[in-house]
Structures are given as structure tokens and as C-alpha cells.
Amino acid sequence: MSSGWGYPAHASRGRGVDPRMAMWVIIGLAVLAVLVRTHHVTKLEILFFCALVPSVILHEVSHGAMALAFGDDTAKRAGRLTLNPVRHIDPFGTIILPILLTLSGVGTFGYAKPVPVNVSRLRHPRNEGVVVSLVGPAVNIVLALAFGLAYAHLIPYSVKAAVYNTGDLSLQPTWAELIFAAGYVNVILAVFNLIPLPPLDGSAVVERLLPRELLPGYYRIRPFTIVLPLLVVLLYPQALNDVFQPALNEWVRIVGI
């Protein structure tokens, strides 16, 4: 997601661990432990969450790394070009939302704190801004293909056939479930972030196509549109399923189930 774009980061906020973020990590782990002990989450849901966290981090770091390549070091100065998960935690998107969705039976989904990018500092802001936006979903697509191909070549046909016939992913080793979960999660992340709603990455394409005279008005309303994707996730999950399903069907074909 790119809701932080166009606003300079406060690089002076150090590179140490924010005590508030550490507190949220502890709370999240404690809640997860309680849910596991009370059997409110399954092993597969835990594996999906374990796959989700590094996937969203790589997505966000790729935005900052591409921006740096184009001349904007905002993310670097903010200490966000790191794989340390604590630096990327958004209390709601990384902890609260996944727990709520898991408990509601919708599925595991979430997002990291957007990496700050100052588009005005890019050498060619309008064109390179689109590339910086789309590199996140591109990373998820590459990861989805990599995990899909790994699953297709590492899992015996007999196991995949049993999973296909029963729909029970637990009929395979835990490591195979994790590979499947990682590929599946990255398909979801790629497709979701390509939806052309601000602040999702796909909106950068719409923004690039807008005439220059309409951009000031667009920039004024963009900060208030962050709730749109969340409302879709919470209120109309079936609409998202209709968006995700074609991509998931193609990915499952690659996986060979």
C-alpha cells in the first residue's frame, strides 16, 4: 500500500526499536498464544500469518528500495529499508485486522506500515512514481510464482492428488503447507494491491492517467480514501473473493493441484 507517499519521512526518529511497537508485538503474540491455546485458530491459519508478515515486509521494502534507485532516500533515512519486522508494524493492519479477520472466519489478511516515499524527490516523478508503486505487487507476483513452482516440483503427485480430492491441506507435511500458504498469500497481496483504489498501488496508474489540472483535487482527497479498501475487506469480503478467484485459479494450475 502507498498511503504514505508524497510526504517526507521524519528521519530523526532514530533506528532503535520504538517502545510502542514493541508493546504491540508483545500484545499480538500474547493474543495469538491465547487463540492457539483455546483452539480459535488452526495450524494452517498460523502458517498463513507466518507467510503474510515477511511477504508484506518485502512488498513495502521494495517500494523504498526502488525509490532510492530513482533518487529518493526518504525511506532509507527513516530506517525503513530493513527486514526487521518491528520497523514495519502497523498496529491495526499487522496485528488487529488479521486477528479480527481470522476470528470472523474471513481469512488471514493484513498490511504493514507504508514505507514513506517523497515522489517529488524522484528524478522523473510522474513516470517513476508509477514504477515505485507497482514494484510492490511485482515482488508479490514473483514470490507467488517462486513458491508455486517450488510446491509443484517438491510435493509428490500422490500427496497433491489427496489434497485435491479432499480439500484438506493438512494431508501434507507442515513445510509443504507453509510453501502453499506463502504462495497463496502473495497472490492475494498482489491482486489486492493492484485494485485501483487509493491508497492501493494500482491507483498510481489512475493517477498517472489523470490530466495535470485534476491532480491538485485528487491529492486533496487522497488522504481520506485510506478507509475504502478496509471497508471493502470488512463489509464485502465476497466481492474480494470474486476479484481474487481468477488469479488463484491460475496459480493453483501452476501448483498442480
List, for residues 17-70, the tens digit of each pLDDT value.
Answer: 567 666 766 776 676 666 666 666 778 888 888 898 899 999 999 999 999 999
- 5 in a structural domain: no
For residue 162, the model assigns a pLDDT of: 87
Query: What is the C-alpha separation between 57 and 178, in angstroms, rounded?
Result: 17
Q: What is the DSSP letter of 105?
A: T
Domain with 232, as residue range(s), is 19-255
b (16+ CB within 10 A) / e for 220-244 = eebeeebeebeebbeeeeeebeebb
In a domain, 6, yes or no: no
* CB-based contact 54:70 (threshold 8 Å): no
Active-site position among 45, 60, 128, 207: 60
Q: Is the peptide bond before 114 cis (omega within 30 degrees of 0)?
A: no
Task: Assess if residue 9 is contained within a domain.
Answer: no
CA 99 – CA 218 distance, rounded (Å): 33
Spell out, as residue ranges, where the chain has pLDDT lower than 70: 1-18, 20-22, 24-25, 28-29, 31-40, 102-108, 233, 237, 257
| In a domain? residue 27 | yes
Is residue 2 included in any domain, yes or no?
no
For position 187, what pLDDT does the model report?
A: 96
- As a whole number of angstroms, the distance between CA 61 and CA 136 comes to 8
Task: Give the number of other Cβ atoms within 10 Å of residue 50's Cβ.
Answer: 15
pLDDT of amino acid 21? 63
Q: Is 12 part of any domain?
A: no
Give CA–CA dist 63/86, Å, rounded. 17
Residue 74 belongs to some domain of the structure: yes
Residue 60 a catalytic site member: yes
Q: Which residues lie closer than 8 Å to 132 by C-beta, 6 or more apart?
A: 5, 63, 66, 67, 70, 117, 119, 122, 204
The whole-angstrom separation of Cα 128 and Cα 122 is 7
pLDDT given at position 2: 45
The number of folded domains in the chain is 1
Gap between the Cα atoms of 253 and 257, Å rounded: 7
pLDDT value of residue 32: 65
Question: Among candidates 102, 247, 125, which has minimal Cα distance to 187?
Answer: 247
Each residue of 69-90: b (16+ CB within 10 Å) or e?
Answer: ebebebbbbbebbeeeeebbbb
Q: How many helices (H) and strands (E) does the chain have?
A: 11, 0
DSSP 112: P
Residue 160 located in a structural domain = yes
Q: What angle do CA 36, 39, 189 make, to 5 degrees?
A: 65
CA-CA distances (angstroms) from residue 205 to 8, 129, 196, 198? Answer: 22, 9, 7, 10
pLDDT at res. 92 = 77
